[in-house]
Structure 1
């Protein structure tokens, strides 16, 4: 799991919570079911079974892979529309090509592609031809971030955030590597520019270590375990790969890695997410996230009429 790594964590700035901070308790713990997306690449539905009110402003998240493809096996998606939200694609291992009716790009180990669908566009994601030919490891995350009503018809745009732009920090004991991809956490700001106030962090917690991270005031807090085993919260609830944690109120979040990990990983890999709840009605239909059923019908009609762009 390369993403962005540092050989000597002691060279990084240290971040530590205040001893007066209340650790956020665990409100719920769910296990993501497995499925398939697009032309058949395997995913885990990270938010399945989680109350939408606890996720707000997030809508949906897939863990793509982790899978090692044989030559000729890598798969992607066909052209499809989006309106009313942002997609965040974080590639941990492997390479993905992105193209939409506004532009395109390529992201690889540790890169993030941030697409604001806004008023609508067509979109395709696929492995590059070289990866299809050779096969290889593929592992990533796609997160859907809701937009408030006032931003749903904003002009589409996308950002390619390179792995070298991610803000890096370490825990006080240098047992945890913290990658701030978006938002501000413990005084560290990530490169992602977000329309919905939020934070996104990928942390690697070494076996036997604990990470306590001050969390932004007014944000909800979620954790998704990418790999490894450990525990979370002040009650030290056990967690494992493929599980989603919803935290309750407080000033900090705590995650700890078990002293013994399985043979597939040497550390606990966890994605930490939080945002300021939008608290508006949500109407969803496939690739459209709006506020009312009438807006969904309009999005469908606009797509059918070609007003969301053309495949190219």
Structure 2
């Protein structure tokens, strides 16, 4: 098998607030040439690097807003988030948990710091991905997958050097808990200093890596620092990641959806006409009700 190398490293950008509870850097799409289409089916990545929120009697977050045409995937590393949506999904996303919400034909949802976390304050670190849906599934029924830390499959690496957590897809025969509409691999990997993990994905799968803790080297040559995102070439299949320090990184790899992308605000469809219809349906109350 041929080696897959890095095409681009995206440096951290200046964070901005989404609502008053999420201090994020937008890594996909980015001004560095990493477009929605280039990383499709991963069409958006907001990363909330470690940030300390002071105690608050009023939970911070984002109020009721709509989505259509894609899925949101929220991975909690530090802190807790409470979620509610108009299709009946909801719950608390605690450290190590994952929320996989399929907006599809349309939902309203809101997300806030969990009440007790808000009262005490503390360190907060999250990733939210938008995962595109193929045209034939964009108007399917919404659904909600609450994936607890305990339900995530884990593969221990040799010599007690680390662990791979499989959120979606498979790694060395272990399958992830999330169900997906298209082939997707989503792994959290934790390596001790000096540890190495090997990965292999079809070369046409769009593949990237976000370093959340420490520093890593790809194929023993190219360094990727904390809060940096590495985009891989669509050449070759295999690569190795070694930890220069104790490290945590998120790997995402997915089969591209070769369809037009029409995106505006909270809607991601295939055409301008479908976007206009989405806004009309939202204004007519067809996304349900959420207070």
Q: TM-score range by the shorter chain?
A: over 0.9
Structure 1, 120-129 or 146-155: larger mean CA deviation: 120-129
Aligned residues of 1:121 and 1:309 also touching (Cα < 8 A): yes
Q: Does 1:254 align with 2:233?
A: no
1:1-312 to 2 correspondences below 5 Å:
21-33=1-13, 34-47=15-28, 48=30, 49=32, 50-72=34-56, 75-103=60-88, 104-216=90-202, 218-233=204-219, 236-248=221-233, 249-258=235-244, 261=245, 267-312=246-291
| Residue 233 of structure 1, CA deviation | 3.4
Instruction: Give the secondary structure class of the aligned counterpart of 1:78.
Output: strand
Structure 1, 289-298 or 182-191: larger mean CA deviation: 182-191
Alignment gaps of 5+ in structure 1: 1-20, 262-266
Aligned residues of 1:54 and 1:246 also touching (Cα < 8 A): no
CA distance in 2, matches of 1:233, 1:243: 17
Aligned residues of 1:186 and 1:213 also touching (Cα < 8 A): no
TM-score by length of 1: 0.87
CA distance in 2, matches of 1:169, 1:292: 41
CA distance in 1, matches of 2:27, 2:164: 21
Aligned residues of 2:49 and 2:227 also touching (Cα < 8 A): no
Q: What is the CA deviation profile of residues 92-120 of structure 1, one whole-angstrom value per residue up to 9, with x for unaligned ones? A: 12111110001211110111111000000
| Residue 52 of structure 1, CA deviation | 2.9
TM-score by length of 2: 0.93
Q: What value does the CA root-mean-square deviation take over the aligned residues?
A: 1.6
Alignment gaps of 5+ in structure 2: none
CA distance in 1, matches of 2:19, 2:183: 29
Aligned length: 284
| Residue 40 of structure 1, CA deviation | 4.7
Give 4+ residue runs of structure 1 displaced > 3 Å after superposition.
none
